[in-house]
Amino acid sequence: MASGNGKLLRRCTTNGSPSACGHSWEPRHKMPKSTGESNQARSWNLSMLWFFTGAVIVFHLFAVFVVLPLYKDGGNRSNFPFPASSCSGNEQRTETSVLKEDEISVSSTSGSIPISMDSVINLDHGDPTMYEKFWRQTGNAAELVIPGSQTMSYFSDVANLCWFLEPEFAAEIRRLHRLVGNAVAVPDRYIIVGTGSSQLFQAALFALSTSPEVFGHGGGGRPLPVVSSVPYYSSYPAATDLLQSGLFRWAGDARSLKEGDKPYIEVVCSPSNPDGLLKTASVSSNSGKVIHDLAYYWPQYTAITSPADHDLMLFTASKCTGHAGMRLGWAIVKNREVAKRMVKFIEVSTIGVSKDSQLRAAKILKTVSDQYELEAAEDFTKLFHFARKTMRDRWQTLRLVIAASDAFSLPVFQPQYCNFMKENTLPFPAFAWLKCERDIDDCESFLRQKHKILTRGGKHFGADTKHVRISMLDRVETFDMFIERLSSIDL
């Protein structure tokens, strides 16, 4: 860089004048003094005219044939000249790109409480603000002060495979899983921390698609299909295809994947976002790798029937304790090589994960577990009891409203015994997967345009437009106003 700048500088100062660069052009703009000079100037002007005309034509051709089609298509990336090796079928890419375009849903009402009866009610995101009430009542138990001199180094635990994982946080993760019994997190399982489980999802795609087994299986030369059964979590397609990786490519519904010995990655989200059902892998082939997204496998949402013990499991603080803004998730991984590649991904993309957030998360998880170890603690001071009661009350209220109308329907769930709560329980999912009945074909538009209720339409989840996903995790004020508005819909 230094030598490049040096060259430029020298070229501009050869005349010894600070404006030497300007001087070399100046005579061409001066009036000619003699006829010879005048002819020379005329032919120069003509050349310039041809040059500019040519440039204008080239510019127009570029605008008409390259730029305009992109705009007309709403920036659909399928029209970009990707190298053939990074594309796996245009039809699929077009569908994915539409989803990606529509995925941008942050609006002026995101995260806010509706203030009047005709305000927009935004239940599009799964923003877990319902939990604020719980954490407000814990007083200073979950408070943390970090002195200016702390958490300054990049490194947390260099002896650990995941060198940026704070040991206190790792210990509290293992303790919480032991307490709840929802996952095997014994010492020989690798824990990897990520900036939200969103980052870990990408790290997992990278780790699984670069595994030597996959390459040896004929997966080396093309992007690996990534599938999930419909309705799938709406972020999977966008997160998979964002960087147009040559390693993996979103391929839609797991059930449409033709079984064979070709490698693939299946994402299993259980309980499922958006519909709350428990899921297992749809594709049963030895050449597949599975990512288990267990963001909602906590007792406030579903019965804990056994400790999950899959090869690669993802969890997030966002839906466990409600601290989405902390941006922390963790993966529990069996295979050392897969864990190493996930760590490599995070190392290269963000050189680790916020230590401040990890220390705060350790304190939050510790507060949760401590409360369960206190014999005399009241139920409302225990996170999972508080959250499950809130979810149960909300679902009961919602079901009453839905039962009174023939315009909508909800999935029907079966009770199961919860080992943690020690009783039979129905699922109380974080989202209501609402179906518009009768002649409402586009439920999302119907609720948005006619009733100012923002939801996420079924097509984002690979499903039909009669379905919408509605967050059940918002603040009480928002939820109550939603219920009131929904009950007033008269078809």
Binding site for ligand PLP (CB under 6 A): 126, 196-198, 233, 269, 273, 293, 295, 316, 318, 324, 329
DSSP strand pairing (408-409 vs 431-436): antiparallel
Smallest distance from the beta carbon of 239 to ligand PLP, in angstroms?
A: 9
C-alpha 388/C-alpha 155 separation (Å) is 37
> Measured in Å, how far apart are the chain's first and last C-alpha atoms?
69
Give buried/exposed letters for 105-138 (b at 16+ CB in 10 A, else e).
eeeebeeeebeeeeeebbbbbbbbbbbeebbeeb
Three-state DSSP at 2 gives helix
Taking the least distance from each CB to ligand PLP, the nearer of 174 and 327 is 327
Smallest distance from the beta carbon of 54 to ligand PLP, in angstroms?
A: 52
Taking the least distance from each CB to ligand PLP, the nearer of 198 and 416 is 198
Smallest distance from the beta carbon of 431 to ligand PLP, in angstroms?
A: 8
> Where are the extended beta strands (E) located within 89-244?
121-122, 190-195, 224-228
Smallest distance from the beta carbon of 286 to ligand PLP, in angstroms?
A: 26
Q: Please name the residue that has the structure tokens 């309705």.
A: 231
Tokens of 422: 């020690």
Taking the least distance from each CB to ligand PLP, the nearer of 365 and 407 is 365
Smallest distance from the beta carbon of 235 to ligand PLP, in angstroms?
A: 7
Taking the least distance from each CB to ligand PLP, the nearer of 225 and 329 is 329
Smallest distance from the beta carbon of 276 to ligand PLP, in angstroms?
A: 11
CA atoms within 13 A on the CB side of 5: 2
C-alpha 173/C-alpha 366 separation (Å) is 9
Taking the least distance from each CB to ligand PLP, the nearer of 229 and 318 is 318
Give buried/exposed letters for 298-333 (b at 16+ CB in 10 A, else e).
bbbbbbbeebbebebbbbbbbbbbbbbebbbbbbbb
Taking the least distance from each CB to ligand PLP, the nearer of 93 and 122 is 122
Residue by residue, DSSP assigns 382-399 as: SHHHHHHHHHHHHHHHHH
Smallest distance from the beta carbon of 301 to ligand PLP, in angstroms?
A: 11
Q: Report yes or no: 343 and 162 within 8 Å, Cβ to Cβ.
A: yes
- By the 10 Å C-beta count (0-12 exposed, 13-18 middle, 19+ buried), 272 is classed as buried
Taking the least distance from each CB to ligand PLP, the nearer of 200 and 214 is 200
Taking the least distance from each CB to ligand PLP, the nearer of 330 and 384 is 330
Smallest distance from the beta carbon of 430 to ligand PLP, in angstroms?
A: 7
Q: Please name the residue that has the structure tokens 């040519």.
A: 54
Taking the least distance from each CB to ligand PLP, the nearer of 316 and 321 is 316
C-alpha 422/C-alpha 159 separation (Å) is 39
Taking the least distance from each CB to ligand PLP, the nearer of 200 and 407 is 200
Smallest distance from the beta carbon of 254 to ligand PLP, in angstroms?
A: 15
The residue nearest ligand PLP at its CB is 196
Taking the least distance from each CB to ligand PLP, the nearer of 122 and 214 is 122
C-alpha 145/C-alpha 205 separation (Å) is 36
Q: Report yes or no: 137 and 381 within 8 Å, Cβ to Cβ.
A: yes
Type and span of the H or E element at 469: strand 467-471
Type and span of the H or E element at 434: strand 431-436
In degrees rounded to 5, what are phi and psi of residue 208? -75, -35
Rg (CA), the chain: 29
Smallest distance from the beta carbon of 203 to ligand PLP, in angstroms?
A: 12
Smallest distance from the beta carbon of 127 to ligand PLP, in angstroms?
A: 9
Smallest distance from the beta carbon of 244 to ligand PLP, in angstroms?
A: 21
Q: Report yes or no: 246 and 405 within 8 Å, Cβ to Cβ.
A: no
